[in-house]
Every structure is written in C-alpha cells, then in structure tokens.
Chains A and B, each alone.
Chain A
Amino acid sequence: MEAFTMGNYGAYVWTCFALTFAVLVYLDWSARARHRRVYRDIEVRIKALEERE
C-alpha cells in the first residue's frame, strides 16, 4: 500500500507517470493513424487515375 501512497506524494507521482504514458501512447497511435490516412488517400488517388487511364 505504501508503494502506492508514496509517502503522501502518490497523487503527484502517479499523475506524472500516467500523463507520460498517455502521451507516449498518443504519439504512437497518431503516427500510425496519420500514416494510414496518407497512404489511403494516395492509394485512392492513384487507383482512380489508373482506372481513368
């Protein structure tokens, strides 16, 4: 239990770690999501051009 209360600093310590991991997860997710979006947009445009040709 003491490991979680952190000598009354638990709220500060855990908030910092939670914030950090949330930011890391968000950065990873947003990088993947942007890549998927850009790839899909280019794919749609190129395939449309191919069909027209």
Chain B
Amino acid sequence: MWKFFHRLASPPHFYRLAAIFAPWLMLPGLVLIAYGTIAGLFVAPEDYQQGDAFRIIYVHVPAAYLSMMAYMIMAVSGGIGLIWRIKLAHAVGAAAAPLGAAFTLLALLTGSIWGRPMWGTWWEWGDPRLTSELILLFLYFGYMALRSAIDDTLKADKACAVIALVGVVNVVIVHYSVEWWSSLHQGQTLLRKGGPAMDSAMLYPLLAMILGFTLVFGALLLRRVRTEVLYRERRTRWVRKMILAPQGGR
C-alpha cells in the first residue's frame, strides 16, 4: 500500500499517469453534465414554491460543493506536504487553488442571481452562508497572492500549507452556517436527516450534475497538477530526457 503511494507521489510517474487518467474523468463527467442539464432544465417538474427558478440549483449546488471540496483538497495536501514532505502534495495544493476560487466565484454569482427573484435582493451582508462563502473566496485569493509573492518555492509551499490548514475553520462555518444561525439561505437539501428533501425527478439530475462536476474537476485538477509538476521539475534529468525524446511528453 505504502509502496503504491510512494510510487504515485514520484513526479515522473504521476506526470505520465495524470495524462492517461484526465480524459477518462473528463469524458464521463461531460456526459453526466449533459444529462443533468437536459433533465434539470426540461424534464424535472417545476418547484411548487420557487417555480422554474429552482433550476438554478443544478449549477449552484455543484459549484458550492466544489468550492468547499477544493479547499479541503488544498488543506489535506498542505498537511501531507508539511508532515511527510511530499513534493507532489504541495503541487496539488497550488493547482487546486485557482479551481477552487473559480467555483467559489461561480457559487456566489449563481447564488446571487438566484437570490434576486427569491429573496428580492442580490446580496445580504448579514447572512452567514453568503458572508462565509465570500470569506472563502478571499482565502483563495490570499493563498494565491501569497504563493506568487514568495519566490522560494519551498517557503511558499510551507506558508500556503499553513494558510490552507487555518482556513479549514471557515469551510466548517460555510457548511454548518445554515444550521447554526438563522439565514435567508435554505437549509440542507441533500445531506439531511431522513434523506434528501427532493422528488426523485428533481434529485437524479442534481446527483448527475454533482458527480459530473466532480469528475470534470478531477480532470482539470490532474491537468493543472501535471503542469505544476513539470514546472517544478524543469531542471531535473527526467524532464530533460522526456523533452529530448523523439515522441516528447506533452
């Protein structure tokens, strides 16, 4: 088991594996997103309270879920990098940050657009879910700014890992904010006691979208980590050998 992880964490091995696995995540991910989009927009019945506006859930929930998952990936990889000093772990954190920021921004924008017809406002500063999600976006920006501000990669990796670990508190707050405080935002729809609060005709497209987005996120993350590994290893013998090989290593 440890031997497998040790081998996987080797940069040349990971570089080759990521190129093989990325399309195998991307393709089924896109198929699921296509199904979820068509079923969510045209097949699922309208909500009895929100009408057709509820269909925004099919892009908002996957984006919001990925905004938190990307941060957890950053934090866990930061922890692994700090404790076991695995170089690949820091590369994963660096690659996950822009993806996490993009999905957080998307969750905020789609949430705001959804809030306008439902709550009568684009934004509510007093709302704990909205505010903690905005803080999550600032944490991503802070992480990326810190990384680009420090020239020494080793120092940047350590500082960013600490920021990522400290910021996990905010992810917990984002997740539980609707239970801990009164919020304009609706409560948990899927992860609640007694099962999801949705009809199966609405639920299946949502599950397809969540899984599809996760697979596409996985493919994008693999591609970005691959590039990060290539950049960090640019002065090593294996990169030199790969580039000079007749078939290259794109």
Contact = CB atoms under 8 A, between A and B. Distances in A.
Contact of B230 (A6, A19, A38): A38
- Contact count band on B: 35 or more
A20 B106 contact: yes
A34 to B, nearest CB: 5
Interface string B234-250: 10000110011000001
Interface of B: 33, 37, 41-42, 46, 51-53, 55-56, 58-60, 63, 99, 102-103, 105-106, 109-110, 113-114, 116-117, 216, 220, 223-224, 226-227, 230-231, 234, 239-240, 243-244, 250
Contacts of A27: 99, 102, 220
Report the interface size class on chain A. 20 to 34
A12 B52 CA distance: 10
Nearest to A9: B53
B114 A39 contact: no
A32 B230 contact: no
A20 B51 contact: no
B53 A13 contact: yes
Interface string A15-26: 111011001101
Nearest to B223: A31
Given A17-B41, A23-B102, A46 B244 contact: yes
Interface in A6-53: 6-7, 9-10, 12-13, 15-17, 19-20, 23-24, 26-28, 31-32, 34-36, 38-39, 42-43, 45-47, 50
B230 A16 contact: no
Contacts of B216: 24
Nearest to B105: A23
A43 to B, nearest CB: 5
Contacts of B231: 38, 42
Contact of A13 (B55, B102, B227): B55
A7 B227 contact: no
B244 A16 contact: no
